Amino acid sequence: MSQSHLSKNYHGLMIKIDGVILTRLRQIMDERGGVLHMFRNDAPEYKKFGECYFSEVLPGSVKAWKLHKKQSQNLAVPIGRIRLVIFDPRKVSPSYLKLQVIELGRPDAYFRLHIPNGLWYGFSCISKDRALIVNCADMIHDSDETQIMPIEVADIPYSW
């Protein structure tokens, strides 16, 4: 919880974990319902389209921790609000052992978050209604490259 103040101030330049990119997305208002940008093939961090899928998170629920050895994530939260935590276990990284907390949700924090491979991350729903995360990953799901670590055993300095 000690990092939660960061979520009040984040923007592109505040990201302190190497390779993570936070990009403000356009919300085009319409009285019938808005159009929300997410990801285009001309985005700087676009490499390849692997898979688009959704993760629903119920109020108060936590999904953590996960690390992808190869796959990179591109996330946005069109519904509800998410607190997302990233931890850097890469010994060669300039941000080795750094941790960052980011809140994602409309209208004020409608961002795309790029999480490169090799980082631990997890998230919780902090809205009173369910949240929906949309992920455009650069590879299709492969359990061989996915690591899961239960919260109880994780040696990560963050308490959910």
Nearer CB in complex with its own copies: 126/132: 132
- Kindly list the residues in this chain that would bind its own copies in the complex (CB under 8 A): 31-42, 48-58, 61-63, 78-79, 125, 130-132, 134, 136, 140
Smallest gap from residue 98 Cβ to its own copies (A)? 26
Smallest gap from residue 157 Cβ to its own copies (A)? 22
Nearer CB in complex with its own copies: 107/155: 107
Smallest gap from residue 134 Cβ to its own copies (A)? 6
| Cα dist from 94 to 18, 19, 38, 64, 91, whole Å | 7, 10, 29, 24, 8
Nearer CB in complex with its own copies: 53/96: 53
Question: What's the rounded Cα separation, in Å, for the pair 7 and 104?
Answer: 9
Nearer CB in complex with its own copies: 54/96: 54
Smallest gap from residue 76 Cβ to its own copies (A)? 8
